[in-house]
Structure 1
Protein backbone atom coordinates (compact mmCIF):
# COMPACT_ATOMS: atom_id res chain seq x y z
CA UNK A 1 0.00 0.00 0.00
CA UNK A 2 1.35 3.43 -1.00
CA UNK A 3 1.66 6.12 1.64
CA UNK A 4 1.75 9.87 1.23
CA UNK A 5 5.53 9.74 1.31
CA UNK A 6 5.61 7.52 -1.79
CA UNK A 7 5.69 10.38 -4.29
CA UNK A 8 6.61 9.27 -7.77
CA UNK A 9 8.13 11.50 -10.42
CA UNK A 10 4.75 11.61 -12.15
CA UNK A 11 3.12 12.76 -8.89
CA UNK A 12 5.68 15.55 -8.56
CA UNK A 13 5.11 16.70 -12.14
CA UNK A 14 1.34 16.75 -11.58
CA UNK A 15 1.76 18.81 -8.41
CA UNK A 16 4.01 21.28 -10.23
CA UNK A 17 1.59 21.64 -13.15
CA UNK A 18 -1.36 22.17 -10.80
CA UNK A 19 0.52 24.90 -8.94
CA UNK A 20 2.49 26.40 -11.83
CA UNK A 21 0.93 29.83 -11.41
CA UNK A 22 1.98 30.00 -7.74
CA UNK A 23 5.51 28.90 -8.61
CA UNK A 24 5.75 31.63 -11.26
CA UNK A 25 4.43 34.19 -8.77
CA UNK A 26 7.08 33.07 -6.26
CA UNK A 27 9.78 33.54 -8.91
CA UNK A 28 8.49 37.01 -9.80
CA UNK A 29 8.34 38.11 -6.15
CA UNK A 30 11.84 36.91 -5.24
CA UNK A 31 13.24 38.11 -8.57
CA UNK A 32 11.79 41.58 -7.96
CA UNK A 33 13.17 41.64 -4.41
CA UNK A 34 16.64 40.63 -5.61
CA UNK A 35 16.53 43.18 -8.44
CA UNK A 36 15.45 45.96 -6.07
CA UNK A 37 18.20 45.07 -3.59
CA UNK A 38 20.81 45.01 -6.36
CA UNK A 39 19.67 48.39 -7.69
CA UNK A 40 19.83 49.89 -4.20
CA UNK A 41 23.27 48.40 -3.60
CA UNK A 42 24.50 49.58 -7.01
CA UNK A 43 23.47 53.16 -6.21
CA UNK A 44 25.64 53.09 -3.09
CA UNK A 45 28.66 51.60 -4.88
CA UNK A 46 31.53 54.00 -5.66
CA UNK A 47 32.71 54.92 -9.13
CA UNK A 48 36.11 53.53 -10.12
CA UNK A 49 38.56 55.45 -12.30
CA UNK A 50 41.75 53.79 -13.53
CA UNK A 51 44.93 55.01 -15.15
CA UNK A 52 48.62 54.11 -15.00
CA UNK A 53 52.18 55.32 -15.45
CA UNK A 54 55.23 53.51 -16.80
CA UNK A 55 58.69 54.04 -15.33
CA UNK A 56 61.83 53.21 -17.29
CA UNK A 57 65.44 54.18 -17.94
CA UNK A 58 66.22 54.11 -21.67
CA UNK A 59 69.27 51.95 -22.32
CA UNK A 60 72.07 53.45 -24.37
CA UNK A 61 72.68 50.23 -26.29
CA UNK A 62 70.61 47.21 -27.16
CA UNK A 63 73.03 45.02 -25.20
CA UNK A 64 72.11 46.34 -21.77
CA UNK A 65 68.37 46.91 -22.28
CA UNK A 66 67.37 43.71 -20.45
CA UNK A 67 69.59 44.50 -17.49
CA UNK A 68 68.13 47.99 -17.21
CA UNK A 69 64.58 46.63 -17.48
CA UNK A 70 65.18 44.04 -14.75
CA UNK A 71 66.65 46.76 -12.54
CA UNK A 72 63.46 48.82 -12.96
CA UNK A 73 61.33 45.80 -12.07
CA UNK A 74 63.27 45.46 -8.84
CA UNK A 75 62.59 49.08 -7.91
CA UNK A 76 58.83 49.12 -8.52
CA UNK A 77 57.95 48.61 -4.84
CA UNK A 78 60.06 51.66 -4.03
CA UNK A 79 58.32 53.70 -6.72
CA UNK A 80 54.97 52.53 -5.37
CA UNK A 81 55.84 53.54 -1.80
CA UNK A 82 56.95 57.00 -2.93
CA UNK A 83 53.80 57.41 -5.03
CA UNK A 84 51.65 56.73 -1.97
CA UNK A 85 53.37 59.45 0.08
CA UNK A 86 51.30 62.43 1.24
CA UNK A 87 53.68 64.81 -0.57
CA UNK A 88 52.64 63.28 -3.91
CA UNK A 89 49.00 63.50 -2.86
CA UNK A 90 49.48 67.15 -1.95
CA UNK A 91 50.74 67.83 -5.46
CA UNK A 92 47.77 65.90 -6.87
CA UNK A 93 45.49 68.08 -4.75
CA UNK A 94 47.05 71.23 -6.23
CA UNK A 95 46.83 69.88 -9.78
CA UNK A 96 43.14 69.06 -9.38
CA UNK A 97 42.44 72.50 -7.92
CA UNK A 98 44.38 74.45 -10.58
CA UNK A 99 43.20 72.46 -13.60
CA UNK A 100 39.60 71.84 -12.61
CA UNK A 101 38.77 74.21 -9.77
CA UNK A 102 37.77 71.29 -7.55
CA UNK A 103 38.97 71.38 -3.95
CA UNK A 104 39.61 67.99 -2.37
CA UNK A 105 41.29 67.27 0.95
CA UNK A 106 44.40 65.12 1.29
CA UNK A 107 42.38 62.60 3.30
CA UNK A 108 39.77 62.37 0.52
CA UNK A 109 42.49 61.61 -2.00
CA UNK A 110 44.22 59.15 0.34
CA UNK A 111 40.99 57.27 1.07
CA UNK A 112 40.07 57.14 -2.61
CA UNK A 113 43.32 56.10 -4.26
CA UNK A 114 45.16 52.80 -4.39
CA UNK A 115 48.37 52.07 -6.29
CA UNK A 116 49.49 48.63 -7.39
CA UNK A 117 52.06 46.96 -9.59
CA UNK A 118 51.77 43.69 -11.47
CA UNK A 119 54.75 41.37 -11.15
CA UNK A 120 57.35 41.65 -13.90
CA UNK A 121 56.07 44.99 -15.22
CA UNK A 122 57.35 48.55 -14.91
CA UNK A 123 53.80 49.91 -14.73
CA UNK A 124 52.17 51.52 -11.70
CA UNK A 125 48.39 51.12 -11.77
CA UNK A 126 46.38 53.93 -10.21
CA UNK A 127 42.80 53.33 -9.11
CA UNK A 128 40.53 55.92 -7.50
CA UNK A 129 37.14 55.21 -5.93
CA UNK A 130 34.60 57.89 -5.09
CA UNK A 131 30.84 58.18 -4.87
CA UNK A 132 31.13 61.10 -7.32
CA UNK A 133 32.07 60.04 -10.83
CA UNK A 134 33.91 63.27 -11.65
CA UNK A 135 35.93 63.23 -8.43
CA UNK A 136 37.07 59.65 -9.06
CA UNK A 137 38.26 60.66 -12.52
CA UNK A 138 40.03 63.80 -11.27
CA UNK A 139 41.80 61.94 -8.44
CA UNK A 140 43.11 59.21 -10.75
CA UNK A 141 44.37 61.69 -13.34
CA UNK A 142 45.72 64.07 -10.69
CA UNK A 143 47.71 61.29 -9.04
CA UNK A 144 49.12 60.16 -12.40
CA UNK A 145 50.27 63.71 -13.15
CA UNK A 146 51.75 64.15 -9.67
CA UNK A 147 53.70 60.88 -9.91
CA UNK A 148 54.98 61.87 -13.35
CA UNK A 149 56.04 65.31 -12.09
CA UNK A 150 57.52 64.35 -8.72
CA UNK A 151 58.91 60.81 -8.75
CA UNK A 152 62.34 61.90 -10.00
CA UNK A 153 62.54 64.46 -7.19
CA UNK A 154 62.94 61.60 -4.72
CA UNK A 155 64.70 58.90 -6.74
CA UNK A 156 66.42 58.65 -10.09
CA UNK A 157 63.54 56.88 -11.80
CA UNK A 158 64.38 57.95 -15.34
CA UNK A 159 61.44 58.46 -17.67
CA UNK A 160 57.97 58.52 -16.10
CA UNK A 161 55.17 58.54 -18.64
CA UNK A 162 51.40 58.51 -18.26
CA UNK A 163 49.61 55.71 -20.09
CA UNK A 164 46.34 57.32 -21.09
CA UNK A 165 43.88 59.15 -18.86
CA UNK A 166 40.69 58.27 -17.05
CA UNK A 167 37.68 59.76 -18.84
CA UNK A 168 33.91 59.75 -18.41
CA UNK A 169 33.43 56.70 -20.61
CA UNK A 170 36.04 54.63 -18.75
CA UNK A 171 34.85 55.45 -15.22
CA UNK A 172 32.53 52.67 -14.06
CA UNK A 173 30.64 51.67 -10.96
CA UNK A 174 32.51 49.24 -8.74
CA UNK A 175 31.84 45.67 -9.88
CA UNK A 176 28.26 44.65 -9.20
CA UNK A 177 26.20 42.52 -11.58
CA UNK A 178 22.49 43.30 -11.22
CA UNK A 179 21.69 40.49 -13.65
CA UNK A 180 23.41 37.95 -11.37
CA UNK A 181 21.30 39.09 -8.42
CA UNK A 182 18.19 38.78 -10.60
CA UNK A 183 19.10 35.23 -11.67
CA UNK A 184 19.75 34.22 -8.05
CA UNK A 185 16.42 35.75 -7.00
CA UNK A 186 14.52 33.89 -9.73
CA UNK A 187 16.27 30.62 -8.86
CA UNK A 188 15.51 31.04 -5.16
CA UNK A 189 11.89 31.87 -6.01
CA UNK A 190 11.65 28.71 -8.11
CA UNK A 191 13.08 26.51 -5.34
CA UNK A 192 10.93 28.17 -2.69
CA UNK A 193 7.80 27.78 -4.81
CA UNK A 194 8.53 24.12 -5.54
CA UNK A 195 9.24 23.39 -1.89
CA UNK A 196 6.02 25.05 -0.71
CA UNK A 197 3.71 23.34 -3.21
CA UNK A 198 5.26 19.90 -2.62
CA UNK A 199 5.10 20.22 1.16
CA UNK A 200 1.52 21.49 0.89
CA UNK A 201 0.58 18.50 -1.29
CA UNK A 202 2.15 16.02 1.16
CA UNK A 203 0.35 17.62 4.12
CA UNK A 204 -2.99 17.59 2.27
CA UNK A 205 -2.54 13.90 1.39
CA UNK A 206 -1.77 13.02 5.00
CA UNK A 207 -4.81 14.98 6.18
CA UNK A 208 -7.08 13.16 3.72
CA UNK A 209 -5.68 9.75 4.75
CA UNK A 210 -6.36 10.46 8.42
CA UNK A 211 -9.92 11.32 7.56
Structure 2
Protein backbone atom coordinates (compact mmCIF):
# COMPACT_ATOMS: atom_id res chain seq x y z
CA UNK A 1 0.00 0.00 0.00
CA UNK A 2 1.40 3.40 -0.96
CA UNK A 3 -0.01 6.92 -0.80
CA UNK A 4 -0.36 8.98 -3.96
CA UNK A 5 -2.77 10.63 -6.36
CA UNK A 6 -5.45 9.23 -8.65
CA UNK A 7 -6.26 11.61 -11.47
CA UNK A 8 -8.67 12.11 -14.35
CA UNK A 9 -7.16 13.70 -17.44
CA UNK A 10 -8.87 15.23 -20.45
CA UNK A 11 -7.52 16.29 -23.84
CA UNK A 12 -9.29 18.59 -26.31
CA UNK A 13 -8.08 16.36 -29.16
CA UNK A 14 -10.02 13.44 -27.70
CA UNK A 15 -13.54 14.71 -26.90
CA UNK A 16 -15.58 12.33 -24.79
CA UNK A 17 -12.51 10.33 -23.73
CA UNK A 18 -10.85 10.53 -20.30
CA UNK A 19 -7.68 9.00 -18.90
CA UNK A 20 -7.68 7.65 -15.35
CA UNK A 21 -4.30 6.94 -13.79
CA UNK A 22 -2.18 7.32 -10.68
CA UNK A 23 1.07 8.95 -9.67
CA UNK A 24 3.24 9.38 -6.60
CA UNK A 25 4.08 12.91 -7.71
CA UNK A 26 2.21 15.94 -9.01
CA UNK A 27 -0.61 15.00 -11.38
CA UNK A 28 0.02 17.98 -13.63
CA UNK A 29 3.66 16.96 -14.01
CA UNK A 30 2.41 13.54 -15.09
CA UNK A 31 0.04 15.17 -17.58
CA UNK A 32 2.93 17.10 -19.14
CA UNK A 33 4.92 13.88 -19.49
CA UNK A 34 2.16 12.41 -21.64
CA UNK A 35 2.52 15.13 -24.25
CA UNK A 36 3.94 13.58 -27.42
CA UNK A 37 4.15 14.19 -31.14
CA UNK A 38 1.22 11.81 -31.55
CA UNK A 39 -1.11 14.06 -29.50
CA UNK A 40 -1.41 17.65 -30.82
CA UNK A 41 -2.80 19.17 -27.60
CA UNK A 42 -1.83 18.92 -23.95
CA UNK A 43 -3.49 16.74 -21.34
CA UNK A 44 -5.22 18.59 -18.50
CA UNK A 45 -5.97 17.42 -14.97
CA UNK A 46 -9.73 17.69 -14.61
CA UNK A 47 -9.78 16.10 -11.16
CA UNK A 48 -7.34 14.53 -8.68
CA UNK A 49 -7.63 13.05 -5.23
CA UNK A 50 -5.03 11.97 -2.69
CA UNK A 51 -5.39 8.37 -1.51
CA UNK A 52 -3.49 6.42 1.13
CA UNK A 53 -3.65 3.40 -1.19
CA UNK A 54 -3.72 5.02 -4.61
CA UNK A 55 -2.99 1.76 -6.43
CA UNK A 56 -6.09 0.10 -4.97
CA UNK A 57 -8.25 3.16 -5.68
CA UNK A 58 -7.13 3.28 -9.31
CA UNK A 59 -7.87 -0.44 -9.69
CA UNK A 60 -11.36 -0.02 -8.21
CA UNK A 61 -12.03 2.94 -10.50
CA UNK A 62 -10.90 1.04 -13.58
CA UNK A 63 -13.08 -1.91 -12.59
CA UNK A 64 -16.09 0.27 -11.98
CA UNK A 65 -16.18 1.59 -15.56
CA UNK A 66 -14.31 -1.25 -17.32
CA UNK A 67 -17.01 -1.70 -19.97
CA UNK A 68 -16.25 1.81 -21.25
CA UNK A 69 -12.52 1.17 -21.70
CA UNK A 70 -11.28 2.16 -25.15
CA UNK A 71 -8.52 -0.45 -25.23
CA UNK A 72 -7.79 -3.33 -22.85
CA UNK A 73 -4.17 -2.30 -22.27
CA UNK A 74 -4.71 1.46 -22.00
CA UNK A 75 -6.14 3.72 -19.29
CA UNK A 76 -8.53 5.57 -21.60
CA UNK A 77 -12.30 5.42 -21.17
CA UNK A 78 -15.17 6.80 -23.24
CA UNK A 79 -17.14 8.01 -20.24
CA UNK A 80 -18.72 11.34 -19.15
CA UNK A 81 -16.29 13.43 -17.12
CA UNK A 82 -18.83 14.53 -14.50
CA UNK A 83 -19.93 10.95 -13.86
CA UNK A 84 -16.29 9.83 -13.61
CA UNK A 85 -15.55 12.49 -10.98
CA UNK A 86 -18.61 11.47 -8.96
CA UNK A 87 -17.61 7.82 -9.22
CA UNK A 88 -14.05 8.50 -8.03
CA UNK A 89 -15.36 10.56 -5.13
CA UNK A 90 -17.68 7.72 -4.14
CA UNK A 91 -14.90 5.14 -4.25
CA UNK A 92 -12.42 7.26 -2.29
CA UNK A 93 -12.09 6.38 1.39
CA UNK A 94 -11.57 9.14 3.97
CA UNK A 95 -7.89 9.16 5.03
CA UNK A 96 -6.93 7.99 8.49
CA UNK A 97 -5.09 11.25 8.96
CA UNK A 98 -7.59 14.07 8.25
CA UNK A 99 -4.78 16.53 7.55
CA UNK A 100 -3.75 14.53 4.48
CA UNK A 101 -7.15 14.84 2.76
CA UNK A 102 -6.83 16.58 -0.61
CA UNK A 103 -8.79 16.86 -3.82
CA UNK A 104 -8.76 19.33 -6.71
CA UNK A 105 -11.22 19.96 -9.52
CA UNK A 106 -10.53 22.15 -12.55
CA UNK A 107 -13.13 24.78 -13.48
CA UNK A 108 -10.95 26.40 -16.13
CA UNK A 109 -13.04 25.49 -19.18
CA UNK A 110 -16.31 26.55 -17.55
CA UNK A 111 -14.83 29.86 -16.37
CA UNK A 112 -13.17 30.50 -19.75
CA UNK A 113 -16.42 29.87 -21.62
CA UNK A 114 -18.50 32.04 -19.28
CA UNK A 115 -16.05 34.95 -18.97
CA UNK A 116 -13.91 34.67 -22.11
CA UNK A 117 -13.46 38.42 -22.66
CA UNK A 118 -12.74 39.20 -18.99
CA UNK A 119 -10.26 36.49 -18.04
CA UNK A 120 -6.69 37.66 -17.53
CA UNK A 121 -4.31 36.55 -20.31
CA UNK A 122 -1.75 34.02 -19.16
CA UNK A 123 -4.15 32.03 -16.99
CA UNK A 124 -3.88 28.36 -18.00
CA UNK A 125 -5.81 26.67 -15.21
CA UNK A 126 -8.32 27.50 -12.47
CA UNK A 127 -9.09 24.89 -9.82
CA UNK A 128 -11.04 24.46 -6.64
CA UNK A 129 -8.68 22.80 -4.14
CA UNK A 130 -10.15 21.31 -1.00
CA UNK A 131 -9.11 19.64 2.24
CA UNK A 132 -11.26 18.73 5.22
CA UNK A 133 -10.81 22.22 6.67
CA UNK A 134 -10.14 24.54 3.72
CA UNK A 135 -11.42 25.49 0.26
CA UNK A 136 -9.07 27.39 -2.03
CA UNK A 137 -9.32 28.96 -5.46
CA UNK A 138 -6.10 28.08 -7.29
CA UNK A 139 -5.03 30.12 -10.35
CA UNK A 140 -2.14 28.99 -12.53
CA UNK A 141 -0.48 31.48 -14.87
CA UNK A 142 2.25 30.93 -17.43
CA UNK A 143 4.64 33.43 -18.98
CA UNK A 144 6.79 32.44 -21.95
CA UNK A 145 10.35 33.76 -21.72
CA UNK A 146 12.31 33.20 -24.87
CA UNK A 147 11.86 30.23 -27.15
CA UNK A 148 12.07 27.44 -24.58
CA UNK A 149 11.52 28.92 -21.11
CA UNK A 150 8.12 29.07 -19.43
CA UNK A 151 7.64 30.50 -15.94
CA UNK A 152 4.63 29.19 -14.04
CA UNK A 153 3.04 30.90 -11.04
CA UNK A 154 0.43 29.11 -8.93
CA UNK A 155 -1.57 31.20 -6.46
CA UNK A 156 -4.07 29.82 -3.96
CA UNK A 157 -6.63 32.09 -2.31
CA UNK A 158 -8.45 30.84 0.78
CA UNK A 159 -12.21 31.22 0.23
CA UNK A 160 -13.05 31.04 3.94
CA UNK A 161 -13.91 34.76 4.05
CA UNK A 162 -16.74 34.32 1.52
CA UNK A 163 -19.87 34.28 3.65
CA UNK A 164 -23.23 32.59 3.08
CA UNK A 165 -26.76 33.75 3.75
CA UNK A 166 -26.48 32.90 7.46
CA UNK A 167 -24.16 35.08 9.55
CA UNK A 168 -20.83 33.30 10.03
CA UNK A 169 -21.65 30.58 7.50
CA UNK A 170 -18.99 29.78 4.89
CA UNK A 171 -20.28 30.03 1.35
CA UNK A 172 -17.68 27.53 0.17
CA UNK A 173 -17.93 24.95 2.91
CA UNK A 174 -15.19 22.29 3.22
CA UNK A 175 -17.90 19.98 4.56
CA UNK A 176 -19.58 20.03 1.13
CA UNK A 177 -18.28 18.02 -1.80
CA UNK A 178 -15.66 19.71 -3.95
CA UNK A 179 -17.92 19.33 -6.98
CA UNK A 180 -20.68 21.23 -5.19
CA UNK A 181 -18.26 24.05 -4.33
CA UNK A 182 -16.98 24.09 -7.92
CA UNK A 183 -20.53 24.38 -9.27
CA UNK A 184 -21.32 27.17 -6.80
CA UNK A 185 -18.29 29.16 -7.90
CA UNK A 186 -19.03 28.82 -11.61
CA UNK A 187 -22.80 29.10 -11.41
CA UNK A 188 -23.55 31.33 -8.42
CA UNK A 189 -20.51 33.51 -7.75
CA UNK A 190 -21.41 36.62 -9.75
CA UNK A 191 -18.92 38.84 -11.64
CA UNK A 192 -18.91 41.53 -8.94
CA UNK A 193 -18.10 38.94 -6.26
CA UNK A 194 -15.33 37.59 -8.48
CA UNK A 195 -13.60 40.97 -8.90
CA UNK A 196 -13.89 41.59 -5.16
CA UNK A 197 -12.39 38.26 -4.12
CA UNK A 198 -10.09 36.98 -6.88
CA UNK A 199 -7.50 37.97 -9.50
CA UNK A 200 -9.26 36.19 -12.36
CA UNK A 201 -10.23 39.25 -14.42
CA UNK A 202 -8.07 41.91 -16.10
CA UNK A 203 -8.25 45.62 -15.22
CA UNK A 204 -10.65 46.65 -17.99
CA UNK A 205 -13.08 43.95 -16.90
CA UNK A 206 -12.85 45.20 -13.32
CA UNK A 207 -13.74 48.73 -14.42
CA UNK A 208 -16.61 47.54 -16.63
CA UNK A 209 -18.16 45.39 -13.90
CA UNK A 210 -17.62 47.98 -11.16
CA UNK A 211 -19.36 50.71 -13.18
CA UNK A 212 -22.30 48.60 -14.34
CA UNK A 213 -25.29 48.94 -11.95
CA UNK A 214 -26.64 45.62 -13.24
CA UNK A 215 -23.61 43.89 -11.72
CA UNK A 216 -22.48 46.25 -8.96
CA UNK A 217 -25.14 46.30 -6.21
CA UNK A 218 -23.67 49.54 -4.79
CA UNK A 219 -24.44 51.43 -8.03
CA UNK A 220 -28.12 50.55 -8.10
CA UNK A 221 -30.77 53.14 -7.24
Normalising by the smaller structure, the TM-score range is under 0.3
Q: TM-score, normalized by length of structure 2?
A: 0.22
More helix by share: 1
> Which structure has the bigger radius of gyration?
1
More strand by share: 2
Query: RCO (CA 8 Å, sep 6+): is it higher in 1 or 2?
Result: 1
